[in-house]
Amino acid sequence: MGQAARTAAGVAGAAAAMSLLLGCTGHSDDAPARRPASDIRAGAQADTRTDTKADSRAGARADTRADTEADVRAVARTGTSRQVLDVAEQLLERDCMRRHGFRFWVVAPATARRDFPYVLDDIGWARTHGYGAEQRAALRRAAAIDPNKHYLLSLPPDRRTAVVAALNGPRPDGLTADLPNGVRVTHSDTGCTAEAERRLYGDLPAWFRATRTTTVLTGERMAAVQQDQRYLDAREDWARCMKAAGQPYTDPRISRATAERGVSRAREIRLAVAEATCARSTGLSRVAAAVDRSYDTRLRQRYPGAYGDLARLTEAALPRARALIARG
């Protein structure tokens, strides 16, 4: 479910901490962006709504060697399209921030995560990883050593404010998106982030509208799937299977939340394997995928402009992104 996977959870804790630290509201768009935010950006941005940008960069390598040329350039050869675009944007932001007299680290993205938006259904993966405890641990380690966060913390208050303005622009205006849920979000069309996206994608207003709109639609699609009677009927079968396996959970969201609150590794593995086994044997996995496709098709037909712009601008940006990474 590609787009849903790319717009999953953000580092809300780091963002909140940075917001408190900065003592300012700054600005940003409301929707989770299709790419992650550094701690500087996450703590600096807020506009008419709260930013919850996805943060696979916070889950970047738990390594003290951020921004190594080898790691960054390897992305152009082996990374996903999303990872290539992410690194290219960071490189452009780094160059822009340097021109403003600030430091900015490019962090090579982590290996692409496995995402199971409705139910864990890979039994082999569950036996090895559970619900991804090692991924969650890597996120925490990487957040703790994020060089951009530590740089921001090292600055006096007036310099922190200047960093925010340089990265995000002085005011949350210039870019506007009226979302399908009735919310209007705005963002600055100046600052290093806007400059990077303009250089990479060309049509910045169209990119802003497309990413914010499709992100909201992803959330709406997933909510619709989980309320669809076909999904609910299959989930009941799954719950009976889970109960028979000694795991009395009625919803995959509950079993996953139980594991993520902290249980022993053995307990997590048992629960994950039961969830995946029941997802397969009862057909919940198949039903969820089919219902998801049906809603995705409807939304693409209803909002062809947003999805079309996203695909067009992304495809055009990839050659530029690879060239930027090769240049370093």
DSSP annotation of 113 reads P
pLDDT recorded at residue 75: 81
**Using CA atoms, how far apart are residues 35 and 108, in angstroms rounded to an integer?**
13
User: H or E element: which one contains 326?
Assistant: helix 304-327
**Average pLDDT over the chain, rounded to whole?**
82
**Low-confidence residues in the chain, pLDDT < 50:** 1-39, 42-67
pLDDT recorded at residue 108: 77
Site of tokens 């740089």: 151
pLDDT recorded at residue 111: 64
In whole angstroms, how far apart are CA 38 and each of 11, 94, 175, 211?
9, 12, 21, 18
pLDDT recorded at residue 73: 78
Q: Report the 3 state secondary structure along 119-148.
A: CCCCHHHHHHHCCCHHHHHHHHHHHHHCHH
Counting Cβ atoms within 10 Å, is residue 221 exposed (0-12), middle (13-18) or buried (19+)?
A: buried
Sign of the CA dihedral with 31 first, then 36, 39, and 45 last: negative
Site of tokens 């870019």: 175
SS3 187: strand
**Using CA atoms, how far apart are residues 262 and 142, in angstroms rounded to an integer?**
19
CB within 8 A of 90, min separation 6: which ones?
38, 57, 104, 106, 107, 196
* Alpha helix segments (H runs only) across 79-190: 81-99, 123-129, 133-145, 147-154, 157-168
Per-residue pLDDT tens for 40-98?
554 444 343 433 333 334 343 333 344 456 677 788 788 889 999 999 999 999 999 99
